[in-house]
């Protein structure tokens, strides 16, 4: 078990090496290797139950891995003495079910973590939260409660809430899967804007068109292994593995 | 909260059909209707009481009895039954005071015990569970006897004697079952919050303590309020138990008054009189509890 090492921008910001993970008898991840450079956008695709969500939940230690190594900015995640709070300040996460805090308004949702976790002064935090609201195109919804917002609006608040912590890496776990088709686009636009501004993004997604458009690299997982990967230009047209071909033929 | 969900798999078994609890809507004529209906019950209760007493007065006059009528007797004893002997805390007011203290103490202890039940430390978790189960499943009267006899009536702190009044011990004893039940309410409410809330708080670098106090518990308040108020009503109704242990509450003073009058026909009006106070005190709370339950059920 290695511990934290120094990190420099020429090294991968997220480095996943030979990761194994099982829930009891069920092996979910069987030797995953992915390197993500700073500013890169990675899409992980694959059939349900292939371990995509588990994989990205391991990156911010929501799930523990059984063996292997995940390093985020040099911090070893597979480490019992890991300072999880330090890790999670670097890694933001957006969930399929938004998971906004229902007892707080949109603005308060965004302000909460910087206020309570980072103990930043309230004036600064509010100013920043208002900028984020603007950035995700939700001006006017500051004092709405999550229950009063549509799915797409809630998801954009969730993105802003993660960004308020100034993370280095953003994880998106099927963030459009629970949305109405007409609101998917507004969320994808918010993510695209992030990606274009240089945020390191790791997405688990079923939106193939979107993946093709914004990803620098696409990974296809099936039954806990990475079957195939490559830049979108070649991935979609020159898939070699029959499992990838079958998946793509079903979905495209 | 959904009252009815379609079964995921087809079934031949009987299923719970959707139903609408009357008054579950937000403010409307329907709600107004239910409230007036409830007022009618109150009015009916009052009319019954007054009618019964007037009949009694007439009856006493026909008998041309030199003794007082039940009504006059009630009036005579009311200050004692309500406020206790002059210069002392007692009577029905003491019942309410005991209920406040027991509830406040029980809620405070119960909150921590409930949090103990979800502790990551197995020793704290198991002992909190054991304490909860012990006091939830013990008869209140047994707990009362136990505490009244176990706790000293006088303590000496730094050479100064402090008397512990009986009603204080009684309030403490009654707070124990309240504590255990609040503990279960807290544990249940926390368990009912979706795990996504924990996960999103965790991924925003909240510590476990911060998550509990700033994200989980605030959401639990709404869910805990109706059962909490319900337990307050049960507690208030149970405070006359303390009369068995010599505390001068409304119940024991009513017994004293009856003993002083030594007229057995007063037994019914006197207890009815006392009962009506409890009813008038707790009925609005029970009513509010029901309203809150419905309102929260609709909003979720």
Q: Please give the pLDDT value at position A43.
A: 93
Interval B178-185 mean pLDDT:
96
Cα–Cα distance for residue pair B25/B47, rounded to 1 Å: 31
Nearest to A89 among B205, B210, B219 (CB): B205
Interval B55-75 mean pLDDT:
68
Q: Please give the pLDDT value at position B30.
A: 56
Q: Of B168, B169, B179, which is closest to residue B105 (Cα–Cα)?
A: B179
- State yes or no: pLDDT of B298 exceeds 70: no
- State yes or no: pLDDT of B239 exceeds 50: yes
Cα–Cα distance for residue pair A204/A165, rounded to 1 Å: 21
- State yes or no: pLDDT of B222 exceeds 80: yes
DSSP-H helix ranges across B89-216? 91-117, 122-136, 140-150, 166-191, 195-203, 208-210
> Helices then strands (H, E): number in chain B?
11, 2
The CA R_g of chain B, rounded to the nearest whole Å, is 25
Residue A115's pLDDT band (cuts 50, 70, 90): very high
Cα–Cα distance for residue pair A89/A166, rounded to 1 Å: 7
- State yes or no: pLDDT of A2 exceeds 70: no
Q: Which residue of B has its CA nearest to A91?
A: B203
Residue B13's pLDDT band (cuts 50, 70, 90): low
Query: What digits encode the pLDDT tens for the residues A49-92?
Result: 888 889 999 998 898 899 999 999 888 888 888 888 889 889 99
Interval A185-201 mean pLDDT:
90
State percent of chain B over pLDDT 90.
Answer: 39
CB contact set of A94 (below 8 Å; sequence gap of 6+): A155, A158, A159, A162, A170, A171, A172, A173, A175
- Shortest Cα distance, chain A CAs vs residue B227, angstroms: 20
- State yes or no: pLDDT of B62 exceeds 70: no
- Shortest Cα distance, chain A CAs vs residue B208, angstroms: 10
Interchain CB contacts (distance < 8 Å): A and B:
57
- State yes or no: pLDDT of B300 exceeds 70: no
Tokens (6 digits) for B199: 């996960």
Domain spans, chain A: 37-57+89-251
Q: Compute how many other C-beta atoms are within 10 angstroms of the C-beta atom of residue B64.
A: 6
pTM, whole model, 2 decimals?
0.80
DSSP-H helix ranges across chain A? 52-59, 84-90, 106-116, 122-135, 151-163, 181-196, 208-214, 232-235, 242-251
- Shortest Cα distance, chain B CAs vs residue A247, angstroms: 27
A178 vs B: CB within 8 A: no
Residues of A in contact with B212 (CB under 8 A): none
Q: For the domain bounded by A37-57+89-251, which CATH number is listed?
A: 3.40.50.300
Query: What digits encode the pLDDT tens for the residues B115-136?
Result: 999 999 999 999 999 999 999 9
Domain spans, chain B: 1-7+21-73+282-300, 82-262
Interval B166-194 mean pLDDT:
93
Cα–Cα distance for residue pair B114/B179, rounded to 1 Å: 9
Q: What 3-state DSSP class applies to A92? A: strand
* From A13-17, A123-127, B14-18, the region with the lowest mean pLDDT: B14-18
Tokens (6 digits) for B111: 């909150």
- Shortest Cα distance, chain A CAs vs residue B203, angstroms: 6
Q: Please give the pLDDT value at position A162.
A: 94
A82 vs B: CB within 8 A: no
A100 vs B: CB within 8 A: yes
B203 vs A: CB within 8 A: yes
Q: Which long-range contacts (CB under 8 A, 24 or more apart) does A125-128 make?
A: A125/A164, A128/A164
Mean pLDDT highest for which of A156-170, B140-154, B163-177?
A156-170
**β-strand A41-45 against A200-204: which pairing, if any?**
parallel
Q: Does the beta-carbon distance from B205 to A117 stay under 8 Å? A: yes
Q: Compute how many other C-beta atoms are within 10 angstroms of the C-beta atom of residue A182.
A: 9
Give the mutation candidate from A86, A92, A113 for the B interface (greatest B CB count, under 10 A). Answer: A113
- State yes or no: pLDDT of B199 exceeds 80: yes
Cα–Cα distance for residue pair B267/B180, rounded to 1 Å: 36
Q: What 3-state DSSP class applies to A96? A: coil
Q: Please give the pLDDT value at position B87.
A: 78
Q: Which residue of B has its CA nearest to A162?
A: B204
- State yes or no: pLDDT of B43 exceeds 70: yes
- State yes or no: pLDDT of B80 exceeds 80: yes
Fold of B82-262: MetI-like fold (1.10.3720)
What angle do the packed helices B166-191 and B140-150 form, to 10 degrees? 130
Residues of A in contact with B299 (CB under 8 A): 147
Burial letters for B223-258: b for 16+ Cβ neighbours within 10 Å, e otherwise? bbbbbbbbbbbbbbebbbbbbebebbbbbbbbebbb
Cα–Cα distance for residue pair A100/A145, rounded to 1 Å: 9
Task: Report the Cα B300 to chain-centroid distance in Å.
Answer: 26
Q: What 3-state DSSP class applies to A15? A: strand
* ipTM field: 0.90
Q: Of B296, B148, B164, B132, which is closest to residue B219 (Cα–Cα)?
A: B296
Residues of B in contact with A91 (CB under 8 A): 203
Q: Please give the pLDDT value at position B15.
A: 53
Give the mutation candidate from B204, B206, B213, B221 for the A interface (greatest A CB count, under 10 A). Answer: B204
Q: Please give the pLDDT value at position A114.
A: 93
Q: Please give the pLDDT value at position B142.
A: 92
Q: Please give the pLDDT value at position B291.
A: 86
Cα–Cα distance for residue pair B121/B257, rounded to 1 Å: 54
């Amino acid at each position: 078990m290695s511990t934290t090492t120094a990190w420099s921008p020429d090294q991968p910001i997220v480095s996943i090496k030979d990761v194994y993970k099982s829930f009891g008898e069920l092996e979910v991840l069987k030797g995953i290797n992915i390197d993500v450079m700073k500013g890169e956008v990675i899409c992980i695709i694959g059939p349900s139950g292939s371990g995509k969500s588990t994989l990205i939940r391991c990156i911010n230690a929501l799930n523990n891995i059984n063996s292997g190594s995940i390093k985020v900015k040099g911090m070893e995640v597979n480490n019992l003495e890991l300072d999880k709070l330090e890790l999670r300040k670097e890694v933001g996460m957006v969930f399929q079910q938004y998971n906004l805090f229902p007892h707080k308004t949109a603005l308060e949702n965004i302000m909460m973590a910087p206020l309570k976790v980072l103990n930043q002064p309230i004036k600064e935090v509010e100013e920043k939260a208002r900028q984020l609201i603007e950035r995700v195109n939700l001006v006017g919804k500051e004092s709405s409660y999550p229950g009063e917002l549509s799915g797409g609006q809630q998801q954009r608040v969730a993105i802003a809430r993660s960004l308020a912590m100034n993370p280095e890496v953003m994880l998106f776990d099927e963030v459009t899967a629970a949305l109405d088709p007409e609101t998917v686009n507004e969320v994808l636009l918010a993510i695209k804007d992030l990606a274009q501004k240089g945020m390191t993004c790791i997405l688990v997604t079923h939106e193939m068109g979107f993946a093709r458009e914004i990803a620098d690299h696409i990974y296809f997982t099936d039954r806990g292994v990475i079957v195939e990967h490559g830049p979108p230009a070649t991935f979609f047209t020159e898939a070699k593995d029959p499992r990838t071909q079958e998946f793509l033929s079903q979905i495209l | 909260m959904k009252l009815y969900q379609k079964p995921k798999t087809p079934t031949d078994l009987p299923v719970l059909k959707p139903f609408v609890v009357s008054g579950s809507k937000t403010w409307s004529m329907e709600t107004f209707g239910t409230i007036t209906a409830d007022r009618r019950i109150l009015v009916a209760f009052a009319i019954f009481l007054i009618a019964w007493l007037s009949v009694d007065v007439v009856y006493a006059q026909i008998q041309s009895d030199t003794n007082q009528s039940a009504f006059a007797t009630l009036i005579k004893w009311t200050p004692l039954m309500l406020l206790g002997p002059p210069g002392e805390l007692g009577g029905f007011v003491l019942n309410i005071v005991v209920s406040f203290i027991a509830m406040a103490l029980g809620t405070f202890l119960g909150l921590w015990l409930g949090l103990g039940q979800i502790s990551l430390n197995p020793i704290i978790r198991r002992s909190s569970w054991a304490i909860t189960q012990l006091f939830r499943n013990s008869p209140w009267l047994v707990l009362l006897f136990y505490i009244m006899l176990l706790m000293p009536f006088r303590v000496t702190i730094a050479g100064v004697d402090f008397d512990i009044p009986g009603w204080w011990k009684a309030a403490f004893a009654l707070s124990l079952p309240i504590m255990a039940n609040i503990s279960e309410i807290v544990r249940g409410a926390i368990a009912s919050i979706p795990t996504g809330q924990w996960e999103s708080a965790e991924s925003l670098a909240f510590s476990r303590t911060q998550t509990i106090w700033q994200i989980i518990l605030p959401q639990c308040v709404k869910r805990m309020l109706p059962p909490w108020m319900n337990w307050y009503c049960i507690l208030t109704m149970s405070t006359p138990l303390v009369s068995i242990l010599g505390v001068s509450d409304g119940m024991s003073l009513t017994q004293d008054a009856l003993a002083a009058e030594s007229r057995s026909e007063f037994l019914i009006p006197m207890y009815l009189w006392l009962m009506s106070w409890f009813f008038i005190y707790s009925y609005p709370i029970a009513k509010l509890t029901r309203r809150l339950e419905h309102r929260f059920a609709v909003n979720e």
